[in-house]
Amino acid sequence: MSGELVLSTRRDPDFFALYEMQRGVAECWVYESGGRPSGLGTILVREGWNEGRPARVGYLGDLRSGFRTSRERGLLRVYGDLLDDAVRRHGCELFVTAVLASNTAAIHALVRRRAARAAQPRYHLMRRFSMTSIQFTRAVRPRGDRYRVRVATAADVPAIVALLDRDHRARPFGYRYDQGEFEHRLECWPGMSLGRTYVAWDASGQLVGVTSAWDPAAVKRYRVVAYRGSMRWMKLAFNATCGVLGYPRLPEPGHDFRCLYLCNTSIQGERPDVLRALLERIYGDFRHSGYHFFSLCVYENDPLAPALEGFTVRRLDFHLYVVTRSDVEAPNLGAGRPGFEMALA
């Protein structure tokens, strides 16, 4: 990811670990040119929800191609046949994928329609969203104590699962929390635990919010390649004050950010004050723990966005697309929050 801050995503020592911790089927396809791998893409299919009904849903990730392959369009020529075959084999008609908004080359190649691309899968814009990172910097004053937020315990699991299940049944591409998704994550995601899962209760004793702070370092990390332009001076200023204010220095090139993702997030009624209470607790618990930031998915016109006011944030913009076969028109999936787990993208 290029810009004034240049990052690379690291998946060593096991590239496939990110797939293996998920339920369902994962296929990583490699395109060869001249006897050498020059492109790849991954298809993941799982059980889920669409329009309130059980459905097989898919995710397309890690689509990459070398410069020569991009010019020859070799990978895109076989992409349509590959997706058609996956639809037949897995019984999955709809896929979701995320593309960096600034990656105009990918958007033009994948989204724009023309006669030469008639057999290419169709990309239908579903939502715009930001990977919104809350920086651990200055202290943030709590707004109030309307909700009781605490770390989850084993006794909370049935209520957590019930809340997540109700929520995801109404989401396009929702997860099957009724089939053990939450318990699977606790068991199979490295670093996922009840000790880092937070629950918010209202005055009547009802669970109104849940989220888990997950460290992805075992399967995915963000490494600094370079600081450019104004980021060079920002880094110097930031690091000069971090010792006084108690937050970690920005990593040098060749080193990784320490970060958390918010996963298993469900807020009853999309109430920003509930999310705010959860964010304040997580911020307080991890501010002096050596992490640089924690990230959550914020959609365009998101009713939860006011919860971030007063935090120091950085945003990385993405487009979320529904991908179909070349002969399928744009599906109507409604306006609900997608069942998209940004941490897995």
Averaged pLDDT score across all residues of the chain = 91
The pLDDT value recorded for residue 68 is 56
Share of the chain above pLDDT 70, in %: 97
Task: Decide: 147 and 274 in contact? Cβ < 8 Å.
Answer: yes
Question: Quick one: pLDDT band at residue 70, thresholds 50, 70, 90?
Answer: low
Q: Is the pLDDT of residue 299 over 90?
A: yes
Domains 5-130+319-344 and 133-223+244-316 share a fold: yes
Digit-coded pLDDT (tens) for 259-295: 999 999 999 999 999 999 999 999 999 998 999 999 9
Q: Is the pLDDT of residue 28 over 90?
A: yes
Task: Decide: 309 and 272 in contact? Cβ < 8 Å.
Answer: no
**At residue 108, what are phi and psi to the nearest 5 degrees?**
-65, -40
The pLDDT value recorded for residue 245 is 75
Domain residue spans of the chain: 5-130+319-344, 133-223+244-316
Q: Is the pLDDT of residue 77 over 90?
A: no
Partners of residue 46 on adjacent β-strands: 57
More reliable by pLDDT, 27 or 31: 27
CATH of domain 133-223+244-316: 3.40.630.30
The pLDDT value recorded for residue 153 is 98
C-beta contacts of 193-196 below 8 A and 24+ residues apart: 194/151, 194/152, 194/153, 194/154, 194/156, 194/157, 195/151, 196/151
Domain 5-130+319-344 has CATH 3.90.1150.10: no
Going by their DSSP bridges, the two strands 53-65 and 95-100 should be labelled as parallel
Digit-coded pLDDT (tens) for 302-337: 999 999 999 999 999 999 999 999 888 888 887 789
The pLDDT value recorded for residue 73 is 61
Digit-coded pLDDT (tens) for 99-115: 999 888 888 888 887 77
The pLDDT value recorded for residue 75 is 65
Helix (H), strand (E) at residue 20 = helix 17-20
